[in-house]
Structure 1
Amino acid sequence: MRPCPAFDIPPGYLARPAALADADAIQRLVAVCEHAAHGAAPAVPDGVAARLTLPGVDPARDTVLVSGPDGTCAAWAWVRGRRCAIDVHPGHRGRGLGTALLGWAQARAGLAGDDRLAQTVADGDRAAGALLRAAGWAPLVTEWLLEIALPVPGGVPEPPPGVTVRPFAAGDERAAHRLTEDAFDEWQQRRKPYDEWARHTVHRASFTPSASPLAFDGGQLVGVLLSLDVPASGEGYVERLAVRRDHRGRGLARLLLATAFRAFAGRGRRACTLGTHTDTGALSLYEHLGMTVRHSSTIYGTPLAAVPGAGPGGG
């Protein structure tokens, strides 16, 4: 097993691996960073915990938590499967932390045998984008967070003939996984194994079955919408939306979204959000349904030099 790569940080700062017990503190750091870039906190509150508990993640090797001179969380970095996340508190920027963590992330991914690395940066964070471009990273994909105010006028449309809709229930997990991954195969780089997919969706503390409608035709699952609830923000969030390819063009996406919007309005939420990006080609659909772009981000990527002896799972 290879040791985690070393890196230099400014005097007065301390670095160590993150742990699940740090998730809330790191989530607050992420919220501060996103508020500085977007004017709003993250769409969902448990993203850090989900990342730390993904199958295959070893926080001791795949994360760094940097504490400032006052002992508070100043920055963090996470790497897994060609993706990384790096956040530096606005009050600690300009001191080399971002550059140091970027170098660490690239070294860690290389040791794990990855041939490229990508991360998402808010378009409002111009400094982070400039840092990546200066380091040779290139923009790959644009992401958008869309929103709609609740309740939505017009209600829920009638299902197409033969289609029934009901909320997600225990036992639907595997079928929902297959359908969403089949649908996302058209643009994603790899299929997520069930355990990884579940950590992003149905195993999250914020997953909300009552606002996660499923569509069936003749007893077969043909449409899935999975939602997360964010009571502290007064919003709901659509984490996954997929319609089986041979049932597209029937209005099922609109039906599932309207059903979720109604469910969140019934829970007292003032808005619902969802994310999409360039490769899905779905932006115009959501805008046609009355959703508007709240903010955008860019996924940057870079190739990695081969590390002798490295391989999958190395570290």
Structure 2
Amino acid sequence: MPLLAPRLPPGYRSQPATADEVGAIHALVADSAREADSGRQTDAGAVAAVFARPGLDPESDTVLVRDESGRLAAWAWVNRYSEVAVHPDHRGRGLGAALLDWAGERALEAGSKGIVQTVPDSDTGTVALVRSRGYAPLVTEWLLEFPVSDEPSVPDTPSGIVVRPLRGGDEPAVHLLVQDAFDEWQERRQSYAEWAEHTVNRPTFAGDLSPLAFREGQLVGAVLCLDMCESGEGYVEQIAVRQDQRGRGIARLLLSHVFHAFHQAGRHSCTLWTHSDTGALDLYLRVGMTVRHSSTVFRKELRG
């Protein structure tokens, strides 16, 4: 059966992506994010994690688009969720629309009942495009930041709580904590291998800047951080507190340790993304974070 290919404007050709091209894809995604003013932190590890998604077949679920000179112009992938990135030099030529249509067709072919795209609210052209293709808003995402140029304070640790950085061997327990904590709103639990590709296996992962909280020797909270050296920022990839330990200030305590650690590392700010389904926005605002950017997650129902 021939592979489903996007219907591209003249002068472009497509091919499936391979993991060998992660570096070039990351450069394109970073350029696209800057052009769209999305505020989204990206690194090569985030692109590599796409190829580790369970069930994703690079041959049929990814697309690279090149121009007549062979330069990379766009890329897209689909695996329940989908992402489309177009290089700034090639925007406005119909590539985004072609890849958006391809993603929907491929998802339908694979048996998906719906497909999701995330679009920066500031990118009004792309918002209009996804709406024109039948996508409807699902949740709102916010990028929050905390300046750490001045040394942040760290509150006293409550009695019975021990805080220390992540060490080798902690990863399986942290994975279980995160999956249990995220069960309330995530679509499915991630296997350890998939979770690790998005977190502890990424080159930018900073275990020494990722604090864990223990009560009576049991892991009750964790913050997993990336050190985005190129941007001079720290980034919180995941934060989780065991359900029976919430409301006791553990998340606030761990975030204060994170802010202080990134100050000590010479970063100028710390950022994280959250969305409206988590109900965590008020927590981040209370610890002094402010909203830098917002995005909308759109979903389209698919029918044969």
* TM category, shorter: over 0.9
What is the 5 A alignment of 1:190-201?
190-201=188-199
Q: 1:188 aligns with which of 186, 189, 211?
A: 186
Per-residue CA shift, 1:61-100, capped at 9, x if unaligned? 11000012332211111111x1000011232122221121
Give 1:54 shift. Answer: 2.9
CA contact (8 A) 1:152 1:261 kept: no
Deviation of the 1:244 alpha carbon: 0.8
What's the secondary structure of 1:279's corresponding residue?
coil
Asked if the contact 1:4–1:108 (Cα under 8 Å) also holds between the matched residues in 2, the reply is no
The equivalences for 1:57-96 within 5 A come to 57-80=56-79, 82-96=80-94
Q: Alignment identity in percent?
A: 54
Q: Secondary structure at the match of 1:223?
A: strand
Q: 2:152·2:259 contact (CA, 8 Å) conserved in 1?
A: no
Cα pair 1:37 1:123 within 8 Å, conserved: no
Q: Which residue type is aligned with residue 126 of structure 2?
A: A
Cα shift at 1:273: 0.5
SS in 2 for 1:189: coil
Task: Supply the distance in 2 between the matched residues of 1:285 and 1:151 (Cα, whole angstroms).
Answer: 21
Whether 1:263 aligns to 2:261 is yes
Write out per-residue CA displacement over residues 137-161 of structure 1, whole angstroms, 9 at most, x where no aligned residue.
1010110111111145552111211
| Separation (CA, whole Å) in 2 of partners of 1:154 and 1:267 | 13
Name structure 1 gaps, 5 residues minimum.
Answer: 307-315
Structure 1 residues 110-119 or 89-98, which shifts more? 89-98
State the 1:53 CA deviation. 3.0
Match among 288, 291, 304 for residue 289 of structure 2: 291
Q: Which structure 2 residue ranges, 5 or more long, are not aligned?
A: none
Greater shift, 141-150 or 42-51, is seen at 42-51
- Distance in 1 between the 2:42 and 2:157 partners? 29
**Aligned-partner residue type, residue 74 of structure 1:** A
Deviations 1:4-60 (A, max 9, x none): 3123211211211111222222212222221122275x4131321221233432211
Where does residue 313 of structure 1 map in the other structure?
none
Q: Which residue of 1 aligns with 2:49?
A: 50
| 1:274 corresponding residue in structure 2 | 272
Distance in structure 2 (CA, Å) of the matches to 1:157 and 1:294: 25
Aligned residues: 303
Structure-1 separation of matches of 2:187 and 2:110: 18
Amino acid at match of 1:14: R
Q: Which residue pairs with 1:19 in the alignment? A: 18
User: 146-155 or 221-230: which moved more?
Assistant: 146-155
1:139 alignment counterpart: 137
Q: Select the residue among 220, 223, 226 that pairs with 1:225.
A: 223
What is the identity, as a one-letter code, of the residue corresponding to 2:21? D
Q: Which residue of the partner structure matches residue 168 of structure 1?
A: 166
Rate the CA distance shift 1:163–1:244 in 2: closer, same or farther, 3 A.
same
TM-score relative to the length of structure 1: 0.92
Cα 1:205–1:54 change in 2 (3 A) is farther
AA matched with 1:51: V
CA-to-partner distance for each residue in 1:91-110, whole Å, 9 max, x for gaps? 21222211211111112112
In the superposition, the TM-score normalised over structure 2's length comes to 0.95
Alpha carbons 1:63, 1:77 under 8 Å: kept: yes
Q: CA RMSD in A?
A: 1.5
